[in-house]
Amino acid sequence: MRERVLCLLVPLLLAGCDDYHMIDQQKMEDDGAASALPRGQTDQPPVAGTVARGDSLREQQSNQRPPMTSALLERGHERFDIYCSPCHGHVGDGQGMIPQRGFPHPPSFHQDRLRQAPDSHFLDVITSGYGAMYSYAARVQPSDRWAIVAYIRALQLSQNTRLAELPADLKQRLEAGGSP
Ligand code: HEC
Q: Residue 10 above 70 pLDDT?
A: no
Distance of CA 130 from the midpoint of ligand 1 (Å): 7
pTM assigned to the model = 0.72
pLDDT over 80 (residue 179): no
Give 24-80 as a 3 state SS string: HCCCCCCCCECCCCHHHECCCCCCCCCCCCCCHHHHHHHHCCCCCCHHHHHHHHHHH
Average pLDDT estimate for 109-134: 95
Query: Taking Cα atoms as reference points, which of 106, 96, 110, 156 lies closest to residue 126?
Result: 106
Q: Is pLDDT above 60 for 18?
A: no
Give the residue, out of 105, 125, 145, with the most ligand 1 atoms within 8 A of its beta carbon, to mutate for a pocket test. 125
Lowest-confidence range among 14-23, 91-100, 127-136, 160-169? Answer: 14-23
Please give the residue that has the higher pLDDT: either 61 or 87: 87
Tell me the CA–centroid distance for residue 162 and ligand 1, in Å.
Answer: 27
Ligand 1, atom 5, lies closest to the CA of: 84
- If you average pLDDT over residues 136-147, what whole number do you get? 92
Sorting pLDDT into bands at 50, 70 and 90, what band is 150? very high
State the distance from the centre of ligand 1 to the C-alpha of 118, rounded, in angstroms. 15
- Give the up-direction half-sphere exposure of residue 128: CA atoms within 13 A in the CB hemisphere: 11
Task: Write the CATH number of the domain with boundaries 67-175.
Answer: 1.10.760.10
**Residue 175 CA, ligand 1 centroid: distance in Å:** 35
Q: Is 129 in the pocket of ligand 1 (CB under 6 A)?
A: no
Residue-wise pLDDT for 117-126, tens only, equals 999 999 999 9
Cα–ligand 1 centroid distance for 22 (angstroms): 50
Domain segments of the chain as ranges = 67-175
Amino acid at 171: K
- Indicate if the pLDDT at residue 180 is higher than 80: no
What percent of the chain stands above pLDDT 70? 81
pLDDT of residue 113: 97
- Which atom of ligand 1 is least distant from the CA of 105? 12
Residues 6+ apart with CB under 8 A from 155: 80, 91, 92, 109, 110
What mean pLDDT is reported for the chain? 86
